[in-house]
Structure 1
Amino acid sequence: MRIFEILLLSLNVLTLVILLWKRGKAKKLLVALSGVALILLVLQFAVEHFRWQIVPAYVLTFLLLLWSAMQLRSHTYRLRHRALKVTAAIFGALYVVITVGLPVLLPVFETAKPSGPYAIGTATYHWIDVKREEKLTKDPVDKRQLMVQIWYPAETSGDEKIAPYIPDLSGLKMAVQQKYGVPGFFLDYLRNVNTHASIKAKISNAQQNYPLLLFAHGFPGTRYTNTSQVEELVSHGYIVACIDYTYHSIETVFPDGKLVLLSDNLPEMNDWDSWDQIVTDTWVPDSKFVLDQIEQLNTKDPNGILKGKINLKSVGMFGHSFGGAAAAQTLLADPRFKAGMNMDGTLFGKGDLKDGLKQPFLMMNVKTPEVNSADEPNEEELLRIGMTREDYDFIAKEIPMRKNNLLKNGGYSVMIDKIDHLSFTDLYLLSPFFSWNHQMPPRQAHSIINDYTLAFFDKHLKGKTDTLFDRPSSPYPEVKVIFQE
């Protein structure tokens, strides 16, 4: 919770306790406390802004003020009967639990302050690939369109507007309502969540140019699901382009206001061949197209920011989950990318990895129990768990083989214990409810993930030789690093 919210709730609880237990001995004090609470409410509105989770606290503030004023004018205390007092105390406690619980469970969170020396700027671009048809619409003349948000080291004046965490909240609200049945107003409070980036700030002149990284979100995800990771990279001197993979993102909003939701025309979960095809036919061409467009930005940027500041000889790509698979396949298809990273993604894609990648690649995964190949299930066991032999062979044999091939020319494997698949994103910051039973707090997980991400790209795009990958062992007991020669 934010400071005025904490002060308001704390004062309301104190007032409620005094009102129930001090009887008529502190009438003037109660009125004074209620008045201060009203002032805090106004300040919370003015500084931190309204959010629906605080509505019970707003209501409680006015009720306590009214009740205190009534007691000041009354000559008798109305809750002298023990049963009435106990009942009031029970309802008061329940109300306090709700009042405090809602803002705690649905907080206006902040991503960790980036540790690097650079301030951060951001600008968003809308690009249309006129050479490619959009296969996920019925319009035969529709072309593939992408929204890309670019983050870069900046020199801020202080006059720039701070970028919101969610660029198009109305689109996200509509998406979650249509796809998951969650009322749109439920997400209204997220409009108060900001990034550490200034919109269209001047790019920093501390360096002649900066290495470029492309980020691919998970499926479904959005370009902002890894903002805390992106900001950390940018603060250490990287330009990062985050791609919304249209119709495979939970929502995309184009400049004309058109809202594009996650496609309904998706394969079954175990249609492995179709998922391979989506990576190869859509995500890889999207990623290559974005790099094409960024090359043009380096010559002429309509926003007047990035011209000449992108080091196109030091380009990398990273992604989470499905986006991590896209990163591997994009490096296989396009030698302009010099290094890549996959965060816990199944290696989908049609590109043949039998000879491995020529570029350095990092597989960062959650730690999973080792499976003994001798324990291969029989047909009856497969039937019991609802899996076909084809499914089992793909998951237990094909994917591990792809991983071994991918890293065979000098790749890295980083295994992190006590986290899970979504720990690589910002999702667990949205509510402690999502991570209450996790062994590692979200911010601690982000710190480890960010340290190894930065170390990998520093080593292979900046040529540093004193990174985490140059040490004999990891400083984190939860991490195991393997270099595959």
Structure 2
Amino acid sequence: MRSRVVTLFLALVCAQVLLLAPATATTAPATATATPATATVAPAAGTPVVRLPRPTGVLPVATTAVHVVDQSRVDPWAPSPRLRELMVQLWYPTWTTRGARAEYADVEVTRSLEAALGAPRDSLRVITPNAVRDGAAVPVRLPLVLFSHGYAGSRATGTALAEDLASHGYLVAAVDHTYEAAAVRFPDGRVIYHGLPPEDDIAAAIRVRADDLSTVLTELLRRRLVDPRRVAAVGHSAGGATAFEAARTDRRIHAALNLDGGLTSPVAPVPVPALLLTGAWHFDSWTEWASVQRSWGRHLAVNTMGHYSFTDAPYYVEPGNLRALPADVFAELFGTVSPTRAVELQRTYVRAFVDRWLRGVPTAVFDREVARYPEVEIR
């Protein structure tokens, strides 16, 4: 049976819907610069904002964008030879809530997502995060969560999860995988839109993505922002496969979490603690992984979740008029769970996992069912 990555790729291209994901690792030096402010398009007057849920931690959260250039790699997807460039969004604890609230994403990103979804133009401009823009970071090295988006997605699409982790003292670094992301704006004004890597070699795309995560890890370690003993990789869809691959190829990563991502063949074990958190369906690649995994591993399935319930996308439904999608497509994408419950489940299980393996916080949620979350099955 084809992996979940390939299956969803084909389904979503046909339906003109949204996100997915591809990944290896390198310790080559990288250069980085902060990105300047860009022009924004505000929601129309009188349009209600859609506020992402407040983080559950006690620490205020800030966010900033960083431009990283890997001096050791030629970009495999670029039409002419050039170094691999990445845009990275950082979320981190700060000391104050003063300052301008960050926008959700560049207008090129939201318009690309709208076009893929069939949502009205600029309808997603109403999505409003909680973090302040470019706030001062706390002066300590933090445990790091690297985040990889789904195919044709964006570093912005995990904002609700990233803000929550940052409010509990984590540094979250979400990577735009250039040429796979919906749209990426660079500091010099260039915008690179989604351009398809070869469909017949998803495994190669996953290796490139994993290299991206390692490049960013190298840069953040160089900047002395990260506790090198506490690093996890997390991703959605193809980004979940990327997280597993990065943990295989980069020994600096100590735990990996896959949010509803299929695995490419041959399915290989992950040498660090690894969690699959998925929707209700089941796929051969997940069964194969369970049979070969030797380090700590668990598979939890949420019977109410759709594929994009593991992102911010449930909050796109109302402003994007996505309930007009065919019922079967809507169920596949968004399940039956409410946006609030979807975010609560994401946050609860992801934070329990990284707390367990990066901070040594004991938990039983991966070994027995929890009365508060009866929709979660331990497989």
Please confirm whether the aligned pair reaches a TM-score higher than 0.5, indicating the same fold: yes
Structure whose residues are more often helix by fraction: 1
CA distance in 2, matches of 1:410, 1:275: 26
AA at the equivalent of 1:187? R
Following superposition of structure 1 onto structure 2, how do residues 163-182 of structure 1 map, counting pairs within 5 Å? 163-166=102-105, 168-173=106-111, 175=112, 180=116
1:126 corresponding residue in structure 2: 67
CA distance in 2, matches of 1:320, 1:200: 25
SS in structure 1 at match of 2:189: coil
Following superposition of structure 1 onto structure 2, how do residues 181-192 of structure 1 map, counting pairs within 5 Å? 186-192=120-126
Task: Please tell me whether the aligned partners of residues 183 and 192 of structure 2 are also in contact (alpha carbons under 8 angstroms).
Answer: yes
Question: RMSD over aligned Cα, in angstroms?
Answer: 2.5
**In the alignment, structure 1 residue 404 sits paired with structure 2 residue 290:** yes
Offset of residue 192 of structure 1: 4.3
AA at the equivalent of 1:476? Y
**In the alignment, structure 1 residue 203 sits paired with structure 2 residue 137:** yes
1:357 corresponding residue in structure 2: 270
**How far does the alpha carbon of each residue in 1:204-230 deviate from its partner, in whole angstroms, 9 at most, with x for none?**
36xx43210100000010001011111
CA distance in 2, matches of 1:406, 1:119: 41
Offset of residue 470 of structure 1: 6.3
Q: Paired residue for 1:147, among 84, 87, 99?
A: 87
**In the alignment, structure 1 residue 257 sits paired with structure 2 residue 189:** yes
Task: Please tell me whether the aligned partners of residues 126 and 148 of structure 1 are also in contact (alpha carbons under 8 angstroms).
Answer: yes
Following superposition of structure 1 onto structure 2, how do residues 75-90 of structure 1 map, counting pairs within 5 Å? none
2:206 corresponding residue in structure 1: 279
Change (3 A) 1:417 1:180: closer
AA at the equivalent of 2:270? L
Larger Rg: 1
SS in structure 2 at match of 1:203: coil
AA at the equivalent of 1:341? L
Following superposition of structure 1 onto structure 2, how do residues 268-307 of structure 1 map, counting pairs within 5 Å? 268=199, 271=200, 274-280=201-207, 282-298=208-224, 306=225
Q: Paired residue for 1:51, among 34, 44, 48?
A: 44
Change (3 A) 1:181 1:114: closer
Change (3 A) 1:335 1:405: farther
AA at the equivalent of 1:169? V
Offset of residue 348 of structure 1: 2.5
Offset of residue 473 of structure 1: 4.3
SS in structure 2 at match of 1:457: helix
AA at the equivalent of 1:460? W
Task: Please tell me whether the aligned partners of residues 331 and 338 of structure 1 are also in contact (alpha carbons under 8 angstroms).
Answer: yes
Unaligned 5+ residue runs, structure 1?
1-48, 55-102, 299-305, 370-394
CA distance in 2, matches of 1:263, 1:337: 29
Change (3 A) 1:440 1:182: closer
2:79 corresponding residue in structure 1: 138
CA distance in 2, matches of 1:170, 1:341: 29
AA at the equivalent of 2:66? Y
Answer 1 or 2: higher relative contact order, Cα 8 Å, separation at least 6.
2
Change (3 A) 1:275 1:466: closer
Offset of residue 164 of structure 1: 0.5
CA distance in 1, matches of 2:69, 2:295: 36
Offset of residue 421 of structure 1: 0.7
Following superposition of structure 1 onto structure 2, how do residues 373-452 of structure 1 map, counting pairs within 5 Å? 396=284, 399-405=285-291, 407-432=293-318, 433-434=321-322, 438-452=335-349
CA distance in 1, matches of 2:290, 2:178: 31
2:245 corresponding residue in structure 1: 329
SS in structure 1 at match of 2:88: strand
Q: Paired residue for 1:225, among 157, 172, 193?
A: 157
1:115 corresponding residue in structure 2: 56
TM-score, normalised with respect to structure 1:
0.63
AA at the equivalent of 1:434? L
1:346 corresponding residue in structure 2: 262
Following superposition of structure 1 onto structure 2, how do residues 97-112 of structure 1 map, counting pairs within 5 Å? 108-112=49-53
Offset of residue 131 of structure 1: 1.4
CA distance in 2, matches of 1:171, 1:471: 40
SS in structure 1 at match of 2:131: strand
CA distance in 2, matches of 1:479, 1:414: 6
Offset of residue 260 of structure 1: 0.1
TM-score, normalised with respect to structure 2:
0.79
AA at the equivalent of 2:67? H
AA at the equivalent of 1:478? E
Task: Please tell me whether the aligned partners of residues 428 and 434 of structure 1 are also in contact (alpha carbons under 8 angstroms).
Answer: no
SS in structure 2 at match of 1:285: helix
1:83 corresponding residue in structure 2: none
**How far does the alpha carbon of each residue in 1:107-155 deviate from its partner, in whole angstroms, 9 at most, with x for none?**
6311101111110011111011121112222223x11100001110111
Q: Paired residue for 2:127, among 190, 193, 197?
A: 193
Offset of residue 297 of structure 1: 1.4
Unaligned 5+ residue runs, structure 2?
1-41, 324-329
Task: Please tell me whether the aligned partners of residues 241 and 263 of structure 2 are also in contact (alpha carbons under 8 angstroms).
Answer: yes
Task: Please tell me whether the aligned partners of residues 367 and 378 of structure 2 are also in contact (alpha carbons under 8 angstroms).
Answer: no
